[in-house]
């Protein structure tokens, strides 16, 4: 519906639009003084009926409305890694997302539901074990660094040499740990770490 300027003041029913999205946000009566136009972000064209989960968006250049999916405020989950994303704009859900939240950390999307991902769980706990071993090796190497230098220079004391041998046995035991059976938290907690000298 096109607005025609008048030399008389008038009160018209207008349909207000949100400035950034041009979506319908409400209807009101608007007093329009003579020789002025409509306020910004409104139209005289009524919106269509708006079903739940949709928003009516006005296209001024065509003087027409369209219905657009409105999922704002909902959280969706990536089917690649289960990460969450809050929907903040109008439109269809992003590709590769679903509205069903994974029930646990190690899950994968099978096309219709989240299922336990034993491979991802195993890989994560084995990586956790390798990282812990690396932390222990780094600490052990820091302890033995001076002794190794002293050994190469042939200035190590007998007492330090005995300590170095114990620490080297500890380092060797760490390096030979087998994590192939670590599949989950229970498997990780069952690892028998060698005692520090």
DSSP per residue over 39-99, as a string?
PSSEESSPPPP--TTEEEEEETTTTEEEEEE--TT-EEEETTT--EEE--SSSSPPTTEES
In this prediction, residue 89 carries a pLDDT of: 96
Q: Where are the domains of the chain?
A: 10-69, 75-116, 118-189
Per the confidence metrics, is the pTM higher than 0.75?
A: no
In this prediction, residue 171 carries a pLDDT of: 97
Distances (CA, A) of 105 to 108, 116, 120, 124, 190: 9, 9, 9, 10, 21
Residue 38: how many other CB atoms lie within 10 Å = 14
Listed as ranges, residues in the chain with pLDDT below 70 are: 1-2
In this prediction, residue 1 carries a pLDDT of: 61
């Amino acid at each position: 519906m096109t607005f025609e300027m008048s030399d008389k003041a008038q009160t018209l029913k207008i349909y207000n639009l949100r400035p950034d999205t041009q979506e319908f946000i409400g209807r009101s009566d608007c007093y329009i003084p003579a020789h002025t136009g409509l306020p910004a972000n409104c139209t005289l064209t009524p919106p269509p009926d708006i079903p739940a989960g949709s928003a009516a968006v006005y296209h001024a250049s065509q003087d027409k409305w369209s219905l657009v999916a409105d999922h704002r405020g909902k959280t969706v989950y990536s089917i690649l890694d289960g990460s969450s994303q809050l929907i903040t704009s109008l439109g269809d859900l992003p590709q590769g997302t679903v509205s069903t939240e994974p029930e646990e950390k190690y899950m994968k999307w099978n096309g219709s539901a989240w299922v336990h991902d034993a491979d991802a769980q195993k890989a994560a706990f084995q990586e956790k074990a390798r990282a812990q071993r690396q932390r222990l090796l780094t600490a052990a190497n820091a302890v033995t660094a001076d002794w190794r230098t002293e050994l190469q220079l042939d200035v190590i004391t007998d007492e330090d040499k005995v300590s170095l041998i114990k620490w080297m046995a500890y380092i060797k035991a760490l390096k030979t740990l087998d994590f192939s059976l670590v599949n989950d938290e229970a498997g990780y907690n069952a690892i028998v770490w060698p005692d520090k000298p």
